[in-house]
Amino acid sequence: MQVQFELNGEAVITDVEPRTTLADCIRDGLRKTGTHVGCEHGVCGACTVLINGDAVRACLVLAVQVQGDKVVTIEGLSGDELSPLQVAFRKHHALQCGFCTPGFITTAHALLTNEPNVNEERVRDVLSGNLCRCTGYIPIVEAVLDARIHYARGEE
């Protein structure tokens, strides 16, 4: 089947099998490998992307379901320089192996875009759907809280 959508601001037309997940389409078909595939059951959050601004598990969405939609991966969140959220992750050492990082950053980006004045409890609640085996979560929460000011100012 042919599917058309916008990926990181660029129009995409690609042929996929009807059963191809969006994660596999993005990684294997379109070669955007920042979206990681972990559990393939929607539990770990490593494959989280933005679909029309909402954080969504790409392993649970078929590629054909994003027909006409706007999809943003970790690659689409910054240009030549790191985004304020990515800078905060680096500043707070909120990553170690990096496998979970794209999912955390896309999830946090969606949260801060919609709720720039979010409190710590809400950050912890939203991020609880993403799994990390390295950092212990505290630096991740601190990074998201640190980045809030940039989102409140519209400096995503």
Specify the pLDDT at position 155. Answer: 85
Specify the pLDDT at position 156. Answer: 78
Which is it for strands 70-72 and 2-7: parallel, antiparallel or unpaired? parallel
Per-residue pLDDT of the chain (156 residues; tens, 9 = 90+): 999 999 999 999 999 999 999 999 999 999 999 999 999 999 999 999 999 999 999 999 999 999 999 999 999 998 888 999 999 999 999 988 889 999 999 999 999 999 999 999 999 999 999 999 887 799 999 999 999 999 999 887
Specify the pLDDT at position 135. Answer: 77
Domains, in order of start, for the chain: 2-75 (3.10.20.30), 84-152 (1.10.150.120)
Specify the pLDDT at position 17. Answer: 97
In angstroms, the Cα distances linking 46 to 16, 60, 75, 119 are: 22, 12, 14, 23
d(Cα 87, Cα 42) in Å, to the nearest integer?
A: 27
Helix or strand or coil: residue 32?
coil
Amino acid at 120: E
Specify the pLDDT at position 78. Answer: 86
